[in-house]
Every structure is written in C-alpha cells, then in structure tokens.
Chain A
Amino acid sequence: MQTPFGTIFSTNITPDAETGIGRWPEAAFRRAMRSGVDRAGRHLYPTFPYDHFTNVSDEDDQALYAYLMTRQPVRAPAHANQLPFPLDQRFVIAGWKLLFLRRGTYQPDSTQSAEWNRGAYLVEGLAHCGACHTPRNALGAERPDARFAGGDADNWNAYAINAQSPAPIPWDADALFAYLRDGWQPDHGVARGPMAEVVSNLASVKESDVRAIATYMAGVFGAPTPERRRQAEAVLARVKTPSAHASQTNTAGAAIYTAACATCHETNRPLPYGGVNLGLSTAISSPDPRNAANIVLSGVRPVEGERSPIMPGFASSMNDDQISALLNYLRSRFSNRPAWTGVEKTVADARRTQTVFLQTSPGPRNAPADPTQRDKP
C-alpha cells in the first residue's frame, strides 16, 4: 500500500507456519486486532487498521481467527517495507499508538436502536469506513475533529460522507442501502474505483448488516437543511426536463460532451445501463476533480455475471487537454460550484497513476461479486 510515508506491504495471513500466521494462537490474533502487535511482539504499522479493529468483539475476532486458520496455507514471505529512517524503526509506532490509538471494543449507545448500534459497530470496526473517508493528520492518523469529512484512497477522493457531503441529492438510509447493495443508485450514480471493490465485498454480507450500516451512516450524514432540500429539488426538476439549453456554448468541452457523453448521460435511460445525469453526479460537484478525471480515463467495466453499470474509458481517444476541457465544461454546466483549479495537472496525474489499471484491467477493482450470494439471506 502506498502511503505518504512510504510503501507498506501487507503480510501473509494464511495459516502457513513459516511465512503466515500458522503458529499464532488465538490470543495473539486478538492482540494484533486490538493493539497492532504481531506474535513476536513487534508493533504493526497502522496501515493495518487496528485503530478500527480494536472495536471488534471477542466473538467476531474468534470467528475471523477460525475462518483464517482453516484456509489453505500459502507460502509467501513478506516484502520488505520501503520506509525512510526513522519510520522504518518500529518503536516509532509505539509513540503513534500513544497519541492516536483509542483502545477498547465498541460500546453500544443505549439511546439508539439495535439496528443503529449494529451499524455503528460495523462502520467503526470491521468496515473501517473512516480509514478512507476521514482525512488524516500530518502523522497519518484520522482526525477526530473531521470524522467522515472526506479523504483519499489510491488516487481517488473518498467523498465526505457527513453533513459536508458534496452529493447534489442528500443521502438517506434507503438510498445508502440500495447503493451499498447494488453498487449504484439512480439519484447518485455508480460506485467506482476502490468503492466498487467495497460494494463487491458487501454483496456477500447479510442484508440486515448492510441495512444497519445504511441506518447508522444516514445519521452521520444528518438530515438535510431546508435550504439543501430546496436545492436538491431544483436539481431533480432540472434533470427530469429534457435539456432545453443543450450546449449552445461552442467550446471544445461542450462539443466533446455532446458527441461522446450525452448519448448515455442525457437520455433518461435508467441506471445501470444508462449513464447518470451529471447534474446528479457527486464526482462533478465534489471540490476534488480526481474522480471525474479517473472515470473519464478508465470508464466502468461491467461486473461478470450480473446486471451492472458500464461505461467506456476515453484514455485512448482523448488527450489530457481534451479531457481537461471536457471536465471544466462539465463542472460549469452541471454544478453550481466554483470552477476547479489545476484540472490539467489532475488529468496528467490520473493518467500516470492509473496506467497499470488502464492497460491490464480487470483487476481486483472489478472483482466479480458472487451473483449467487447477492440478495440471499
């Protein structure tokens, strides 16, 4: 995993005795989950999110341990991390923990429903949503004063998922449930990048757990203000009336949109096969243009064996200037936010960082969810 501090490699958690966790007793496993310490007592880097896993219950740790220890052992020695001095010294992590690790399992809030508490337990613990969606401080710890205010994941912007959400239509529990379950939702669009992987994994999670996550997160987003609600209604009304003002502006961006994008994105053809109207797109309303750039370059590959969204990538047919012109146009036409700055650099960076993905494809990002699992109890 690439971090601002260096590259950290995940280690073998199959029950291989030499290179995996085959010799770990359950107590050692639980200690790693709770305190970020390996069997030999060495501190683990917090890229392994024990700051969240510390919330996991004894029963769930026990179940995880039983599951992992009954997998096929694989011999796979760990790669050496690439970290500069002094970060390569593991005692540094002890200081980090002293500052940032809040130990203790999840404590239910008795004023809330059982479903809300289940959602909170999952979100704060195993699902560790904040690991991407909460911004981090200079030392790489999640900022407690900015919970769910938006962060980074593999050169994608993990949107703010609290009251600062840039989504044109406010999220509620039903919309969140549909999105997390299906990977797309008509008023918001499609899960892409690392979130596509998350949604794919959630396909094998019990429906009631996904519902609980949606319930808890709807509370984190909070009820929209009357002003926000009015704006959302205006957006929905605009989206539903066929575009009367179809690009009169004769710019390159407008022409590219008309020719390459509008055939899907402005036909009111429903998701997942039609494109979301970009007036509803969080990528276009977000203060950060990275996701929009990533998606224009690489598109959305369909998931094998099930109904899923699809979009062609334009990396081969558009150069950086053309994509920048397109993005600037989309921002001015489909959001009421100020223009993005530095779009050209964002596009160039996106093309560089996504090269591997663009040329190899279907990597784990598009890992097919097991369709036989989805929507089953």
Chain B
Amino acid sequence: MMTLKVNGHDHQIDADPDTPLLYVLRDDIKLNAAKFGCGLGQCGACTVIVDGKAVLSCVTPLLLLEGKQVTTLEGLGTLEAPAPIQRAFVEEQAAQCGYCIAGMMMRAQALLQRNSKPTDEQIRAELEPHLCRCGTHMRILRAVHRAIRLMDTADASSASQRSAQ
C-alpha cells in the first residue's frame, strides 16, 4: 500500500511497486485523460506532470513517485472552468481524433510553467517526443501560442484585480 498524490488528493494504492503510473491512473483512480499509446515511452500519449516536469507515465513505475505530486489533465481544469491550455486547444480545435492531445497539453503546460514566453522553436523542440497521426500539428502549435496569450491576460487581469482590491 502506498500513498499517491494526484491532482491534490491522496490515494491509497494497492499495487506492486513496479506498476506503471499510467495503469494506476486509469485502472485504479479512473482518471482516463492519459492514454496508453505504445507502452514504451515513444509516443507521448501518456504524459502527465510530476513535480512540475512532463513525465511519460507508461514507463514510470510507482516506486519512483513516493512523496511526489502527480498532475493529470483532469487536475488542470474542468469542463465548466477549463484551464488556459484547455481553452486554447478547444478554441483552436486542435484535436482531431484526440488521442495524443492530453499528452500534448500536459507537456505544453509543463513548458509554460517554467517558461511563460517560449519561442515557436522551443515549443516545437519540446513537443518533439509526441506523435500525432491525424496531422493536426499546426493547430496544436497555434493552440500553444494561444495558451501563452490566455495565460498572459489571465495574469494581467488577476494582477489588476489584486491592485484594485
């Protein structure tokens, strides 16, 4: 039995320590945003954020997660109140079949958390480990750029709210 912190909640998990995080997220905690693509860390569909960094959950065993914070797409926002990265992907209609999109969003989110103004080149380099078979790459790139602007306005408006108070 170990305690796994996911999206701010503690979960008691009864699984072998070498169980991939992806299986625990999907099968035990029923968080299905992270997808099983290749199971080999080669496609990016299973990407989640662990302590601020994008991590491939299919090749990350539970035993590496002691005391760490896992964030999945469900932890960023909800249908009613989507996070900027989610809004941006919807507004750009960046998903076609959608299978890769959760992973793309999580790695983009991790990038924007450590660099709020990445260049187009940096975004492309960052998302390179992710495969998309539908070919919506250009929309995905536009969505990340849109997310940068949305986060920027969100920061500005919350700053002005703070100064108004």
Contact = CB atoms under 8 A, between A and B. Distances in A.
B63 A252 contact: yes
B25 to A, nearest CB: 14
Q: How large is the interface on B (under 10, 10 to 19, 20 to 34, 35 or more residues)?
A: 20 to 34
Contacts of A264: 40-41
Given A258-B18, A317-B60, A263 B125 contact: no
A361 interface: yes
Interface residues of A, number: 21
A312 B61 contact: no
A111 interface: no
B37 interface: no
Contacts of A310: 42
Given A316-B53, A318-B64, A259 B125 contact: no
- Among B20, B53, B64, B125, max chain A CB count under 10 A is at B64
A314 B57 CA distance: 11
Interface in B41-94: 41-42, 50, 53-56, 59-61, 63-64
Contacts of B60: 259-260, 317
B17 interface: yes
A43 interface: no
A252 B64 CA distance: 9
Contacts of B61: 255-256, 258-260
B129 interface: yes
B152 interface: no
Nearest to B55: A317
Nearest to B53: A316
Contact of B63 (A259, A312, A316, A361): A259
A312 B128 contact: no
A316 B56 CA distance: 9
Interface in A154-187: none
Interface in A238-274: 252, 255-256, 258-260, 263-264, 273
Interface of B: 17-20, 39-42, 50, 53-56, 59-61, 63-64, 122, 125-126, 128-129
Interface of A: 252, 255-256, 258-260, 263-264, 273, 301, 310-312, 314, 316-318, 322, 360-362
Q: What 8 A-B pairs come out closest when comparing CB atoms?
A: A259-B61, A312-B41, A259-B18, A316-B53, A317-B55, A317-B60, A255-B18, A260-B59
Given A256-B63, A316-B53, A316-B54, 18 more contacts: A255-B63, A256-B61, A258-B18, A259-B17, A259-B19, A259-B20, A259-B61, A263-B40, A263-B59, A273-B42, A312-B41, A317-B50, A317-B53, A317-B56, A317-B60, A317-B64, A360-B122, A362-B125
